[in-house]
Structure 1
């Protein structure tokens, strides 16, 4: 049953570019088409070789941006179904939420932001919208993937209203206004919370596997300790590794149930998706109690995993790769592949923005290879697991 506050693909505000002959490929809704276009995009495929937490991991067990995005989509679809929302829109937004990330994750993003300081800066959320609206061009009749208004809106502001959009998002908004000052659909808000739930818990899983985190550290958090006691009661003789996987699953389940119950409460009485947008605050949310626990968990991860000395050292080496690539391409256009060189604008800031587009699309591996091709070597120790 569709909830009254759900997005309805039959009432979509349409696409930026009209399609000749209409949409004829199969019995799909507008939001199903959006999701499928994302899945078939080059930018989505490249996520398989882009950093999630651990940079360029040597092991096959650690998450990449692709596996993380798939996990976010699974959580988003579960919550959307429970709340009577459009599952395809939530799933598509979850799958697309990280496609604007450059190589090496947040280390790469910081390097590009520094390099682009005089050309408008760089933000991976805005770049994701730029990718699907302007850079990814598989169609004959228009630029971009030509996603629906609701998909672009959700990508642009899944974190909430955007008061001061940067250059990349502002360009798209001028061409196809996205009402950046309002809240997004409930499907977008659910996708955003699914991202939090996924990385709060799956990053713990990876951190434990890599030895960067320990169970004793985690048990200092009351929320985790209570769930761990439940795992031990249910599975007292199971191997520790299996108990830890059970703990992560339990944490996800508790957080998902909390969001569904709290969001159903806050959404009660809302009669349309537009009322969600005009609510003046997020409708999808954790309960007050869970919000406190989630912030503590996130703070724990920053202190013990993301800001771990080995992570910081590796991130600095990754930042160096991106900075060196940007410098090389800026100083000598001949170092660019021919296609990108031939389309390189002569004037700033368009020139730097084009170089940024090229680097942001790289995988970790390709960025490292390009650094070696230009400079003869790459920094050692680009992977710490």
Structure 2
């Protein structure tokens, strides 16, 4: 691979937190970043994403996206951009696949409930929880906790959205144990992973929203840039069914965004000589052009108004928050309701006890959370399937 001089280098990567056989041994002809990616893909947390909410809570259908399919789509977009910019594709892919590992059941509704429950104990944040998951909760190795990923992967995961000036307790605790330079910008691979996430959910959520009937084409076409795309697609395929035209419009929009990121980022990185130059630039280098960024903000505002805050979505989210809140209250009152292995790791004192309870709940799938609350309270939660 012809790697750019400002790309992350798997042969000169930062250290892993732990040494030992599992940390240092090379199994097969893989780079350090390929090993990171494979450790993520083989983790239980990654598998559980198949049953965690992306947009719709516990959707009654197989065609809607989950956190798992979303993460795979982000990885595909991220690799395309990384390849065009001559960055390390494997690190980019690993970051894309890991970015949502900290999401609790029911997406942002579940996160809000855990944040409320943890208010007296330092709060809850899904980005910091992703780091906690790969560094402390996933424990497949005999010698240490965590997946023992490279510094480059952990740094990018911690701050793929930019420098962190006020880390919450979870991120601060991990940074103290294994410093991640939280105050600087991350690698270009991490910045690409962040914008790939935006591109994926901006467009694929439109697809799911249209499929569910929560979004209407006429409403989407009030956004002039989408109206232009629609007219172009209609002109190219005048006899195609409407559903196919809609999907073609979304593909075109993804392509436009990807090309915009590649062109804008290529201009921003001119003159850089190393990964250190990227971190010391003091600003985001990989992302949308100003014009595309303005369009993307308008699209996000539309999606929040018409889809994410749709009345049925809000109702389902309230019920989901109640499920998570009731689970936390039950486990806090009687830890014997938790599995034996989780009971064994519960500290005696707060806030550490509450944080382990939050770890357990955050790892649940939507389905397991509903099953658990049914077993504890004797009734299955209703009104959560909203499509």
Q: TM-score range by the shorter chain?
A: over 0.9
- Tell me the SS of whatever aligns to 1:118: helix
Aligned to 1:9: 10
Cα distance between partner residues in 2 of 1:287 and 1:235: 29
Cα distance between partner residues in 1 of 2:210 and 2:4: 39
CA positional deviation for 1:20: 2.9
- Tell me the SS of whatever aligns to 2:119: coil
Cα distance between partner residues in 1 of 2:355 and 2:95: 25
Aligned to 1:320: 322
Asked if the contact 2:37–2:94 (Cα under 8 Å) also holds between the matched residues in 1, the reply is yes
CA positional deviation for 1:155: 0.4
CA positional deviation for 1:343: 1.9
CA positional deviation for 1:334: 1.5
Structure 1 stretches of 4+ moved >4 Å: none
**Structure-to-structure mapping, 1:150-189, within 5 angstroms:** 150-189=152-191
Cα distance between partner residues in 1 of 2:256 and 2:244: 18
Kindly report the root-mean-square deviation, in angstroms, between the aligned alpha carbons of the 2 structures: 0.8
Aligned to 1:290: 292
Asked if the contact 1:321–1:378 (Cα under 8 Å) also holds between the matched residues in 2, the reply is no
Asked if the contact 2:374–2:381 (Cα under 8 Å) also holds between the matched residues in 1, the reply is no
CA positional deviation for 1:342: 2.1
Aligned to 1:19: 20
Q: What is the total number of aligned residue pairs between the two structures?
A: 385
**Structure-to-structure mapping, 1:112-151, within 5 angstroms:** 112-151=114-153
**Structure-to-structure mapping, 1:192-271, within 5 angstroms:** 192-271=194-273
CA positional deviation for 1:23: 2.1
Aligned to 1:37: 39
TM-score (ref. length: structure 1)? 0.99
Aligned to 1:349: 351
5+ residue gaps, structure 1, are none
Aligned to 1:335: 337
Cα distance between partner residues in 1 of 2:95 and 2:344: 33
Cα distance between partner residues in 2 of 1:243 and 1:347: 58
Q: Write out per-residue CA displacement over residues 353-373 of structure 1, whole angstroms, 9 at most, x where no aligned residue.
A: 010000000000000000000
5+ residue gaps, structure 2, are none
Cα distance between partner residues in 2 of 1:315 and 1:195: 22
CA positional deviation for 1:380: 1.1
Asked if the contact 2:328–2:361 (Cα under 8 Å) also holds between the matched residues in 1, the reply is yes
Q: Write out per-residue CA displacement over residues 70-105 of structure 1, whole angstroms, 9 at most, x where no aligned residue.
A: 000000000000000000000000000001000000
TM-score (ref. length: structure 2)? 0.99
Q: Write out per-residue CA displacement over residues 129-166 of structure 1, whole angstroms, 9 at most, x where no aligned residue.
A: 00100100001111100000000000000000000111
Question: Which one is further off, 373-382 or 118-127?
Answer: 373-382
Cα distance between partner residues in 1 of 2:166 and 2:20: 31
